[in-house]
Amino acid sequence: MPRLGGSFRDPSGFVFTAGGTLYRQVNRVFADEFDACTREGLYDALIGEQLLVPHQRVDLSLAATPEAHAVIAPDVVPFVSHPYEWCFGELRDAALLTIDIQLRALERGFVLRDASAHNVQFAAGRPVFIDTLSFERYRDGAPWAAYQQFCEHFLVPLALMATRDSRFGLMLREHLDGIPLQFGSALLPSRTWADPRLLLHVHLHARAQRRYANATISTEIGGRKLAKSALVSLVSNLRNAVTALSWRPDGTEWADYTSATNYSDASALRKRELVLEYLRRVQPGVVWDLGANTGVYSRIAREVAPMVVAFDADPAAVERNYRDVRAQSDQGLLPLVLDLKNPSPALGWAHHERMSLVERGPADTVMALALVHHLALSGNVPLEDIAAFFARLGRTLIVEFVAKVDSQAQRLLRNRPDIFPDYTSAGFERAFGQYFVIADCQRVGDAERWLYLMTRREPPSA
Amino acid sequence: MQRSGTARAIQPLVAFVYIDPSVGSLILQVLAAAVLSVVAFVGNCRRAVRAFFSRLTRRPQ
């Protein structure tokens, strides 16, 4: 029974799949804590508030190893995303979810024993906590062991994104265990020393860490206790620190790109009609919209598909998209930050902890609208390579070809020699024809653009 | 010596923690929580005093 790659650190249990179903095994070493959480209604309360992913307890015979005390079947998250793919708003909402869960747990006499950003996923348009075994009973006087982890996974990256640049969120790709406090403290602008919350939770925290780097805690000597009310004050202050951070998503080329296109109204309308027509023909369950920008066509896809993942390289465009998702309570659209020229790789221990983009596919349908010319003419990616990669990502493809004479394509070539002799409609069809069967092709109104519906020829070799 | 003495004064951690919370983080947490508790207490007192006087000033009306 394959254990999930990222589920090995916690001795209290692990996640595995069997017969296509996802299970979480609870080991005997964690039996008392798990039973207490169940008996005292913590799980029911958090699930009722839609903070924790729901689960069903299943028969113990489904256990993967003899150490099992219980086996549960959690609801499956439709698409697993990583914190380094989240925009500012998504990371902030994940941080607030973690803090709110900690406060709810404390109210009921429990505590979160870790605060990893990887314990949060997005489902039904909002963040949800997925690690059912992250709770244990609160011991009177004990500090919060996950305080530093919370600061490194959430507060430091959020503070950097808010005060420096939103692209600092991508640092979580390099630092899977959070951005180290001392590193974060050094990167933050000096004005953050005047912010009492960042001063306390980041700068002084980093100083304390450095000062006591060689100290040890004796587990035999009791002593000073941290009153529960004091712990609640600390966690509440941490919540205020997160809430106070904000970021305005503007000033980037892509966030305003949709309003700066060169379509006539008729062509724009025709493109929408064609995209919808193709989607209705395919009837996909999951659509990946590559280069989705603020999600205009992702929302059209949502008219047909129950789940759309909207990828874009620009954090500002993704932030706008996410804010719309929250405002409209769209339960099937997930905006993520992803640069297709450098997509999320397999990361972590033995390359198995965090799945690459390809490992999370294939999608039923991939949409690549007004994207190929950027990859080919700006990124110098050969058309055949683009087609090969798209064939690994999805079974059907809705792709737009923008001719070189189009003003947007001309814009990309204005300051450089045209070294792309194969970038023609014939070259495009030849390259994509190696991997896909072209089911349909329509011109987008009077624009120098063509929309294609293609189906993958055969599963590509890995 | 002073450092490890302070560290020892912290309450033992729970049994199943599998992450290193770092000693500096725990010490800061205890100190910060104490300060924040005092701040919260003072804030509550201020609110109580304000509420008391606002009731007093409202009564004649």
pLDDT at A260 over 60: no
Mean pLDDT (whole number) for A254-261: 58
C-alpha closest to that of A337 among A358, A362, A309, A378: A309
Question: In this structure, are residues A9 and A108 in contact, taking their beta carbons and an 8 Å threshold?
Answer: no
CA–CA distance, A229 with A235 (Å, rounded to integer): 10
Q: Inter-chain contact B3–A212, Cβ cutoff 8 Å?
A: yes
Asked whether the predicted pLDDT for residue A298 surpasses 60, the reply is yes
Query: Would you state the pLDDT for residue A253?
Result: 60
- 3-class state of residue B18 by DSSP: coil
Query: A226, B33: Cβ pair inside 8 Å?
Result: yes
Closest chain A CA to residue B20? A145
pLDDT at B12: 47
Name which of A9, A141, A224 is nearest B18 (Cβ-Cβ). A9
Express each pLDDT in A196-225 by its tens digit: 999 999 999 999 999 988 877 654 334 667
Residue A53 in contact with residue A126, Cβ under 8 Å? no
Task: Determine contact, residues A275/A301, Cβ cutoff 8 Å.
Answer: yes
A37 vs chain B: nearest CA distance in angstroms? 15
- pLDDT at residue number B40: 82
Asked whether the predicted pLDDT for residue B2 surpasses 50, the reply is: no
Between the alpha carbon of residue B23 and those of residues A148, A184, A288, the distances in Å are 10, 19, 45
Min Cα distance A258 → chain B (Å) is 45
pLDDT at B5 over 70: no
What single letter denotes the amino acid at residue A300? Answer: I
Cβ–Cβ < 8 Å for B35, A231: no
Cα A237 to Cα A234: distance, rounded to the nearest angstrom: 5
Place of tokens 């202050």: A237
Task: For residue A223, give how far its alpha carbon lies from the nearest alpha carbon of chain B (Å).
Answer: 5
Residues of B with CB under 8 A from a CB of A: 3-4, 6-14, 16-19, 21-30, 32-34, 36-37, 39-40
| pLDDT reported for residue B60 | 59
User: Region A3-22: what's the mean pLDDT?
Assistant: 87
Closest chain B C-alpha to A10 CA, distance in angstroms = 6
Residues in chain A within 8 Å Cβ distance of B17:
113, 145
pTM of structure: 0.91
pLDDT band at B16 (very low <50, low <70, confident <90, very high): very low
CA distances from A194 to A165, A191, A203, B37 (A): 19, 6, 10, 21
Q: Please report which helix (H) or strand (E) contains residue B25, including its range.
A: helix B23-58
| pLDDT value at residue A219 | 43
SS (H, E, C) chain A: CCECCCCCCCCCEEEEEECCEEEEEEEHHHHHHHHHHHHCCHHHHHHHCCCECCEEEECHHHCCCCCEEEEEEECCCCCCCCHHHCCHHHHHHHHHHHHHHHHHHHHCCEEECCCCHHHEEEECCEEEECCCCCEEECCCCCCCCCHHHHHHHHHHHHHHHHHCCHHHHHHHHHCCCCCCHHHHHHHCCHHHHHCHHHHHHHHHHHHHHHHCCCCCCCCCCCCECCCHHHHHHHHHHHHHHHHCCCCCCCCCCCCCCHHHCCCCHHHHHHHHHHHHHHHHHHCCCEEEEECCCCCHHHHHHHCCCCEEEEEECCHHHHHHHHHHHHHHCCCCEEEEECCCCCCCCCECHHHCCECCCHHHCCEEEEEECCCHHHHHHHCCCCHHHHHHHHHHHEEEEEEEEECCCCHHHHHHHCCCCCCCCCCCHHHHHHHHHCCEEEEEEEECCCCCEEEEEEEECCCCCC
Could you read off the pLDDT of A44-103 as tens digits, one per residue? Answer: 999 999 999 999 999 999 999 999 999 999 999 999 999 999 999 999 999 999 999 999
Distance from CA of B41 to the nearest CA of A (A): 10
What is the Cα gyration radius of chain B? 20
Which tokens hold the place of A454?
A: 């293609």
Q: Do B11 and A226 touch (CB under 8 A)?
A: yes
Query: To probe the interface with B, which of A233, A235, A238 has the most B CB atoms within 10 Å?
Result: A233
Residue B6 with chain A: CB contacts under 8 Å:
212, 215
Task: At A94, list the tokens.
Answer: 């994940």
Q: End-to-end CA distance of chain A, in Å?
A: 22
Interface check for A417 against chain B (CB to CB < 8 A): the answer is no
Q: What is the pLDDT of residue A341?
A: 95
Query: Of A87, A81, A85, A82, nearest to A165 (Cα)?
Result: A87
Contact B23 A216 (CB under 8 A): yes
Which residues from chain B sit within 8 angstroms of residue A144, using beta carbons?
29
- Contact call for A209 and B29, based on CB within 8 A: no
Please give, rounded to a whole number of angstroms, the shortest distance from the CA of B53 to a CA of chain A: 27
Counting residues of chain A whose pLDDT is more than 90, the rounded percentage is: 83
Contacts of A196 (CB under 8 A, 6+ apart): none
Model confidence over A391-442: pLDDT tens digits?
999 999 999 999 999 988 888 888 888 888 999 999 999 999 999 999 999 9
Does A314 lie at the interface with B, CB-CB under 8 angstroms? no
pLDDT for residue B7: 45
Q: What is the pLDDT of residues A331-357, one digit of tens each?
A: 999 999 999 999 999 999 999 999 999
pLDDT interval class at B8 (50, 70, 90): very low
Say if A209 is an interface residue toward chain B (CB within 8 Å). Answer: yes
What confidence score (pLDDT) does residue A459 get? 61
Structure-token pair, residue A144: 């919060």
User: What is the mean pLDDT of the segment spanning A104-126?
Assistant: 96
Taking the C-alpha atoms of residue A13 and residue A21, their distance in angstroms, rounded to an integer, is 17
Helix (H, G, I), strand (E, B) or coil at B31: helix
Sign of CA dihedral A196, A200, A201, A204: positive
Q: ipTM for the complex?
A: 0.76
Instruction: Look at strands A68-74 and A21-27 and give their pairing.
Output: antiparallel
Average pLDDT value over all residues in chain A: 93
- As a whole number of angstroms, the distance between CA A47 and CA A50 comes to 5
Distance CA A453, CA A451 (A): 7
Query: What does the pLDDT look like over A26-38, one tens digit per residue?
Result: 999 999 999 999 9
Task: Look up residue A51 and give its amino acid.
Answer: L
Cα A237 to Cα A253: distance, rounded to the nearest angstrom:
36
Which residue is it, tokens 């790659």? A5
The Cα–Cα gap between A276 and A400 comes to 14
A80 at interface of B, judged by CB pairs closer than 8 A: no
Asked if the model's pLDDT at residue B15 lies above 70, the reply is no
